[in-house]
Structure 1
Amino acid sequence: MNTHAHKKLNPEWSVDSWKHKTIRQQPTYPDQQALNQALATLGDLPPLVTSWEIIRLKKYLAEVAAGKRFLIQGGDCAESFDDCNSSIISNRLKVLIQMSLVIIHGCQTPVVRVGRFAGQYAKPRSADMETRDGQSLPSFRGDIVNQNTFDEAARVPNPDNMLKAYHYSAMTLNFIRALVDGGFADIRHPEYWDIAWVQHSKNAEKFRELVSKITESVHFAEVLVGRPVNNLSSVEFFSAHEALHLHYEQALTRRVPRQTGYFNLGTHFPWIGLRTNQIDSAHVELLRGIENPIGVKIGKETESDHLIDLCQTLNPNNEAGKLTLVHRFGAGNIESNLPRLIKTVQKADLNVVWCADPMHGNTESTSNGYKTRRFENISKEVEESFKVHKDNGSLLGGVHLELTGENVTECLGGARALQEADLSRAYTTQVDPRLNYEQALELAFSIKDFYHQ
């Protein structure tokens, strides 16, 4: 019998026990009183999501693990307060709806839609300080902490930004809920989902042909039964962000009446990044005590014993749908790294959802100084992930993507074969390069093909 399997770890946990662990990737606030005041205000504000939504997502993720659903997680690398407007939010929603419809139709399986939005305001950094022209300032850690402008006042961590992040997250969620409840995702009205700048795209036309087939089928079914087909006017969306800023996450982690345990009510699905997934990490400590489904990033540097400890720490009861392993390797590194991790999980009989992040392992810098990703590498990593899971008796349950509905030029290649010279035309990301709408939709059609292969 495997001695690792289902080992119960130290159950002693409190909402602030993370403060006694190794704390990484946190800003240093110069004004402790202002920090305490902001946290007290934040702790009294209403939750952004509900416990029953969180429980429902965990149920869906258990079905993803069983091959009954497919997970699409996508959105901005780092949200900006300035981007909290109706056009950017609705365009992002359109991309996820269209991608999910391609996969639902092509794979004949329901999709769980999880957005990297309504809270993705914090970013990890490789160094605490950034130096330009001999001047050193605190690194930009996302709008929840400081400002991107390379200016001394702008880079001072401001605790009031946590309150702004809360309010912008609330506005984003409120608008998304209003859209989907109001029929924005109605299959009978695909014109709601059109994104003007790609109306002549090959993939957009391919998608419209797909929708036409589906709506004809729906109309036929309605004629056949003599009444409208129900539940076609709305879809479910869940929010997710990296649970990086621990003061913010703690303030929104609470008990709920008539439920057992603590819930992070700032998001449905928090995840832990590769930089903070150590067993002694404060991030692991905070998230191990909550009822939400949790994601954790892993990669080629993840040791087998560490993976088992992570799974058993974050999911001590081996609950289905509780833990999603998001693997990021880079194209060409899958076959030499992923099988070991799959077999480690299988041998320990651990319940996990496997999800591919084909973005972060494929980042590179161009000769003209832009950070970018090649679409062919992103697509290749997804294809390799499907193949390796199948070859090892496992199941790839989803993809985790950085994307936008805007007409950006941040990733090379894709339908329009973007080149290095194109990057300067519309490179607007605050941190990492994102797929634009055309590239995201092209990837959805590829996922459909990989799924069948």
Structure 2
Amino acid sequence: MTKALLAPPAVGAPDERAGDEWRDRPAAQQPDWPDPSALRAVVRQLAGLPPLVTPEECDTLTDRLGQVARGRAFLLQGGDCAETFAGTSAAAVRRKLETLLQMAVVFSYAASMPVVKVGRMAGQFAKPRSAPTETRDGLTLPVYRGDAVNGVEFTPEARRPDPGRLHQAYQASAATLALIRAFVAGGYADLRQVHAWNQDFVARSPVGQRYERLADEIDRALRFLDVCHVDLSDLRTVELFTSHEGLLLDYESALTRTDPRTGGRYAGSGHLLWVGERTRALDGAHVAYLAGVRNPVAVKLGPSVGADEVLGYVERLDPDRVPGRLTLVVRMGAKRIRDRLPGLVQAVTAAGAEVVWVSDPMHGNTITAPSGHKTRQFDDILDEVAGFFEVHHGLGTHPGGVHVELTGDDVAECLGGGSAVALDDLGRRYESACDPRLNRGQSLDLAFRAAELFRGPRGTARRSDPAGTA
């Protein structure tokens, strides 16, 4: 039975000791704040504010991810590449929520298991970048690092890092969480309504015929439950958790709280935090910070990572071998996933660690269009997901989920998909503040296609624990 998890959090006591370990280690991708005294003032202010999430919610997510690690559930994680303050509107949040729910219904039915839903929402306001500066027409300015740091406009004023934006990020995250709670409580998560949205998508999609069989199966299942007088009221609400990259360590540390129940420390900024490809140094500050909190945590793994390094993350971040504590998010690229992933999975499996394996098919497949826009080919994204499933099915391990950058809006940022976004469309409907996202139609295309791949050629889900359907 599901429920609306995101209850308003209680005010937690600031933990002045929390996160101090990371300060003695190299911290990559931190802004060059021009006024350290202003930064200290904002951090003190944040330390006195309520946490955005509670330890109980974080523990619940660890339990749910533990089911994923054991092959009894599937993880769907998605949302903006970089949230913006302007995008924190009821309409934008609702469209992203609807898209995630639609995708989750497809995966849940196809996989014959629960889907743990985690949004890249309510905190994804900062981004690591490949260079500290950007030059246009002879003018060099600091690179845009997300709304929590500076503005996207290419002016000296906008690009100057402003610690006051950290407080704005907190406020925008709180507003997003409030909107999610309101939509979930207001019936937007009703399974029958979400299925009706999917039926409409199938009817309108240029490639909708491909998905009719799966949509009809879901429809028959719901009608069967109805005629059996099964109470579907429990299907009106869902658990939805939030996540973001734990990039800005001053912000994360200021919102860390000690749980009075256990004395354990929790990041209060979101349910799940991850370190990215550019900040995952084993001896770095970001890994040290995540090692000191009890939230479920994740590490992004690019094609250069080796098995020994991955085992190092397991030892550092999951020394007690708690199923669901550690998620390994693979971002190899479609051309390398089938060669690079098997050795990593075999090494972790041999070490006896129960981690969640997740495919991020976005970041390893980014290209630059002739127009200068960063973009991604839908077919490459799908192929990386296919390779991820193939590797796990071949090894008898569980392909735990997918992590995608998406929006509920009708943008043109990734190429291809059922609605065939073309190169010429990029200049007209490219709205991302950073990396290209799947639009709503492409997101649902991916869900239906990936669900088919997960089920395998015989139309049944393949998983490491066939009996486990919690």
Classify the TM-score, shorter chain: over 0.9
Q: CA deviation at 1:199?
A: 7.4
Provide the residue aligned with 1:405 in structure 2.
408
Q: Which amino acid aligns with 2:439?
A: N
2:68 paired residue among 64, 69, 72: 64
Q: Do the aligned partners of 2:18 and 2:256 also contact (CA within 8 Å) in 1?
A: no
Provide the residue aligned with 2:389 in structure 1.
386
Q: Deviations over 1:130-184 (max 9, x none)?
A: 2222222111110000001111111111111011000100000111011112211
Provide the residue aligned with 2:161 in structure 1.
157
Q: Do the aligned partners of 2:300 and 2:331 also contact (CA within 8 Å) in 1?
A: yes
Change (3 A) 1:221 1:346: closer
Matched, 1:296 2:313: no
Provide the residue aligned with 1:259 in structure 2.
262
Provide the residue aligned with 2:134 in structure 1.
130
User: What are structure 2's unaligned runs of at least 5 residues?
Assistant: 1-16, 457-470
Q: Which amino acid aligns with 2:318?
A: N
Q: Map 1:279-294 onto structure 2 (within 5 A).
A: 279-294=282-297
Aligned CA RMSD, in angstroms, stands at 2.1
1:433 paired residue among 436, 449, 459: 436
Tell me, in whole angstroms, the C-alpha distance in 2 between the residues paired with 1:159 and 1:252.
15
Tell me, in whole angstroms, the C-alpha distance in 2 between the residues paired with 1:247 and 1:384.
38
Tell me, in whole angstroms, the C-alpha distance in 2 between the residues paired with 1:53 and 1:208.
37
Q: 2:282 aligns to what SS in structure 1?
A: coil
Q: Which amino acid aligns with 2:86?
A: D
Q: Which amino acid aligns with 1:150?
A: F
Q: Map 1:40-55 onto structure 2 (within 5 A).
A: 40-55=44-59
Provide the residue aligned with 2:204 in structure 1.
200
Matched, 1:273 2:276: yes
Q: Do the aligned partners of 1:218 and 1:229 also contact (CA within 8 Å) in 2?
A: no
User: What are structure 1's unaligned runs of at least 5 residues?
Assistant: 1-12
Q: CA deviation at 1:219?
A: 4.9
Q: Which amino acid aligns with 1:53?
A: E
Tell me, in whole angstroms, the C-alpha distance in 1 between the residues paired with 2:199 and 2:46.
36
Q: Map 1:416-427 onto structure 2 (within 5 A).
A: 416-427=419-430
Provide the residue aligned with 1:18 in structure 2.
22
Q: Deviations over 1:26-76 (max 9, x none)?
A: 001111221111111111111111111111110110100111110000000
Tell me, in whole angstroms, the C-alpha distance in 1 between the residues paired with 2:213 and 2:267.
41
Q: Do the aligned partners of 2:18 and 2:265 also contact (CA within 8 Å) in 1?
A: no
Q: CA deviation at 1:239?
A: 0.2
User: Does 340-349 or 118-127 show the bigger shift?
Assistant: 340-349
Q: Deviations over 1:193-239 (max 9, x none)?
A: 579999732467877986676466445434434x6334111111100
Q: Do the aligned partners of 1:102 and 1:207 also contact (CA within 8 Å) in 2?
A: no
Q: CA deviation at 1:187?
A: 2.1
Q: Map 1:126-275 onto structure 2 (within 5 A).
A: 126-190=130-194, 193=197, 200-202=204-206, 214=218, 217-225=221-229, 228-275=231-278
Q: Which amino acid aligns with 1:368?
A: S
Give me the TM-score of the superposition, normalised by structure 1.
0.92
Tell me, in whole angstroms, the C-alpha distance in 1 between the residues paired with 2:224 and 2:41.
60
User: Does 418-427 or 171-180 show the bigger shift?
Assistant: 418-427
Q: Map 1:340-379 onto structure 2 (within 5 A).
A: 340-379=343-382
Tell me, in whole angstroms, the C-alpha distance in 2 between the residues paired with 1:252 and 1:206.
47
User: Does 302-311 or 163-172 show the bigger shift?
Assistant: 302-311
Give me the TM-score of the superposition, normalised by structure 2.
0.89
Q: Do the aligned partners of 2:26 and 2:285 also contact (CA within 8 Å) in 1?
A: yes
Tell me, in whole angstroms, the C-alpha distance in 2 between the residues paired with 1:192 and 1:117.
25
Q: Do the aligned partners of 1:197 and 1:407 also contact (CA within 8 Å) in 2?
A: no
2:322 paired residue among 319, 326, 346: 319
Q: Which amino acid aligns with 1:61?
A: L
Change (3 A) 1:323 1:281: same
Q: Deviations over 1:334-353 (max 9, x none)?
A: 12211111122122222211
Matched, 1:333 2:336: yes
Q: 1:241 aligns to what SS in structure 2?
A: strand
1:115 paired residue among 115, 119, 125: 119
Q: Do the aligned partners of 1:123 and 1:141 also contact (CA within 8 Å) in 2?
A: yes
Q: CA deviation at 1:402?
A: 0.3
Tell me, in whole angstroms, the C-alpha distance in 2 between the residues paired with 1:294 and 1:279.
14
Tell me, in whole angstroms, the C-alpha distance in 2 between the residues paired with 1:164 and 1:233.
32
User: Does 90-99 or 229-238 show the bigger shift?
Assistant: 229-238
Tell me, in whole angstroms, the C-alpha distance in 1 between the residues paired with 2:305 and 2:227.
55
Change (3 A) 1:47 1:90: same
Provide the residue aligned with 1:32 in structure 2.
36
Q: Which amino acid aligns with 1:166?
A: Y
Provide the residue aligned with 1:445 in structure 2.
448
Q: CA deviation at 1:393?
A: 2.8
| Equivalent residues, number | 440
Change (3 A) 1:102 1:202: farther
Identical amino acids, percent of aligned pairs:
44
Q: Which amino acid aligns with 1:132?
A: R
Q: 2:191 aligns to what SS in structure 1?
A: coil
Matched, 1:80 2:84: yes
